[in-house]
Structure 1
């Protein structure tokens, strides 16, 4: 146990868990709760639903680049101050979004909101700082599962907010939740820098160190590709269900309620698997399910007409795989450089959001057959991720064999 964790009290840990859950809840509002408002946003800004979908992708890319600065800074000056500043900036961006009627200004304020939301990357660093071992792994699974629960109820919440407060409702609730996170961070975190022995490398050297490690990059790419499958569906789901299938916002919210419930099942399975098999095997199971979902999506798109069932059934399989694979890959990546937890989280989350943003943008630009495009993407992404996982396993076996042949080896 490092000295940073030794100084953490049980009260701080309980407060940190409640803070992390609040951050997970807050994370669904800039994206998922806004989905039922796509038609209203398109009408208000005199643009197309596809452009609104692209604004979601732009938001993800904005978060990714903000994290590049926030992560290493948090290793140097602490997590608390940056979290407080980030929440304040995101609140100002959300206020700008509700006050403008110009689409270009809306995009600018969304980017501002995204830059503030870049501080969400600190959640992974806080897990690394304050928890350890199985407790840390279980908390990461809990965060993914909680995300699924919030995703499952967010479309209904978005539909209610749209009906009562209009599209601005989700932004007002975001501002309120951001204020809660800000207060919790002020109360439960201290601003001391994570304690590790040895000199701390500079900004560029920190990134060169973590991104120069094959295992680190591979684990995060596995997590990123699994996330991209989920995020791509979230971004284009209004185009499929509300635009192509002509569903009402309430019907759309019920569809996503079922989709979000798959996260709960996946989280329960991931918890069981984490106690019985190694992380590499967990990733193999999760990625295998994503590959299966892609093949099922392609089969259904080529043999049946587009319906909610032909899209949702493969997505339930994909979501279960994502929930199993992502926590295992993230824990393995974050465990490689515990003294650079902020930098590690920022580098990994940047890869994740760039992959999610760019891949979802590419899919949304090919509206002719979104179902088949999703299927091909799942097959490709899971195939590459499985190859990376296999490569990591081979390298580990080679290193073990080499160690055993050296003098003094067993």
Structure 2
């Protein structure tokens, strides 16, 4: 049972602000620190590969944390668990700032990651605080903002590195975490009268939600769409910096321009959400991703690799990703509204695993990166369309008469 029912209408804008801050904190610890790799390597006297390992361990820590946080929030409520998670993440970031050795730094990064797993509750809070079309419009907004945050993070990280050194991103994270803690403690009400904590049944909770075909199909669709965006972000330094020889500053501005495409994608998704049903929105988004892959493949074959032939198709892909993910999230979360925490955690872990594996496979391929990315967009969108078709047919088969 949620502990955030019946939020007054006047406080909903503040709730949107809180969800936006949680979205920012969710991407901040990984993306903003990337420009500080050389400085971290020099400070701890470890190769860059070891610094990259700390990022991988951070991601693993988030995934493990989310597996537990979702069901726990359904049992004990969102507010307390969110406040605990924010506190742990801030303590972990503080430990990173004070760490004198690489081992201590990695340990506190994992502690920070375990706390950051609580940010998955933003999906559950949307389900708790908003209804009907509000949920989908808000998810479109947050997906749009999340993409922008990811895209501008290298530019922000470069600025923080120049201003405050490698500790800058951790100090800013701590300040943001403190502000969000205060805001959440004041905004989110305590458990309503008569609410009784539930017994935690972790395995049973996940068996229930993951055993539903439609639930898994919608989250997989969202994961496939997200993988298209995430894979581009991961390989973008390899293509734009290593192959096209852009400076770090020019690279950051290129990603900023790409991030602005999320605004256009979000606007289109908002219009579509009022005119067509979610299933059609998912198909529309996936078809745009398919078109982006075909466009990139054609441009690469005829014009070769350039900033334009890479970014232009990805702008189309971004619009498709925004449209498909928001609709798929809403469809998945509406299946088990009373297990919103478990549902959000299951979906988030799925998105993380598929996005990570896909991006790793693309970045490690010996083939041309642009062509590999284009083929991946085509393949992932076709898989998503197939899943959506199966989900629709299964839903129709379950309808009476």
TM over 0.5: yes
Deviation >6 Å, runs of 4+: 2-5, 193-197
Larger displacement relative to structure 2 (247-256 or 13-22): 13-22
Tell me the equivalent position of 2:267: 268
Q: For residues 313 and 125 of structure 2, what CA distance do their matches in structure 1 show?
A: 34
Distance 2:139 2:250 in 1: 31
Deviation (angstroms), 1:61 = 3.3
Identify the residue that residue 407 of structure 1 maps to in structure 2: none
TM-score by length of 1: 0.89
Report the counterpart of residue 366 of structure 1 in structure 2: 365
User: Hey, what does 1:162 align to over in structure 2?
Assistant: 161
Matches within 5 A, 1:66-215: 66-100=65-99, 102-103=101-102, 105-192=104-191, 202-215=201-214
Deviates further, 275-284 or 357-366: 357-366
Q: How does 1:183-332 map to 2 (within 5 A)?
A: 183-192=182-191, 202-332=201-331
Separation of aligned partners in 1, 2:30 and 2:207: 31
Instruction: Map 1:365-404 to 2 at 5 A.
Output: 365-366=364-365, 369-400=368-399, 403-404=400-401
Deviates more, 1:211-220 or 1:295-304: 295-304
Indicate conservation of the 8 Å contact 2:289/2:317, yes or no: yes
| Aligned residues between the structures | 401
Matches within 5 A, 1:336-347: 336-347=335-346
1:68 touches 1:347 (CA, 8 Å); kept in 2? yes
C-alpha spacing 1:347/1:365, structure 2 compared with 1 (3 Å):
same
Tell me if the contact between 1:241 and 1:308 (Cα under 8 Å) persists in the aligned partners.
Answer: yes
Task: Measure, in 2, the Cα distance between the counterparts of 1:311 and 1:55.
Answer: 29
CA contact under 8 A between 2:290 and 2:377: conserved in structure 1? yes
Gaps (5+ residues) in structure 1? 405-410
Structure 1 residue 205 displacement after superposition: 1.2
Residue 30 of structure 2 aligns to a residue whose secondary structure is coil
Pairwise CA RMSD: 2.7
For residues 232 and 52 of structure 1, the distance between their equivalents in structure 2, rounded to whole angstroms, comes to: 20
Query: 1:98 & 1:10 partners in 2: Cα distance?
Result: 40
Aligned residues of 2:3 and 2:78 also touching (Cα < 8 A) = no
Pairing of 1:44-83 with structure 2 (within 5 A): 44=43, 55-83=54-82
1:151 and 1:257 in contact (8 A); partners too? no
Q: 1:13 to 1:156 in 2, by over 3 A?
A: same
Q: Which region of structure 1 is more displaced relative to structure 2, 64-73 or 49-58?
A: 49-58
Instruction: State the TM-score, normalizing by the size of structure 2.
Output: 0.91
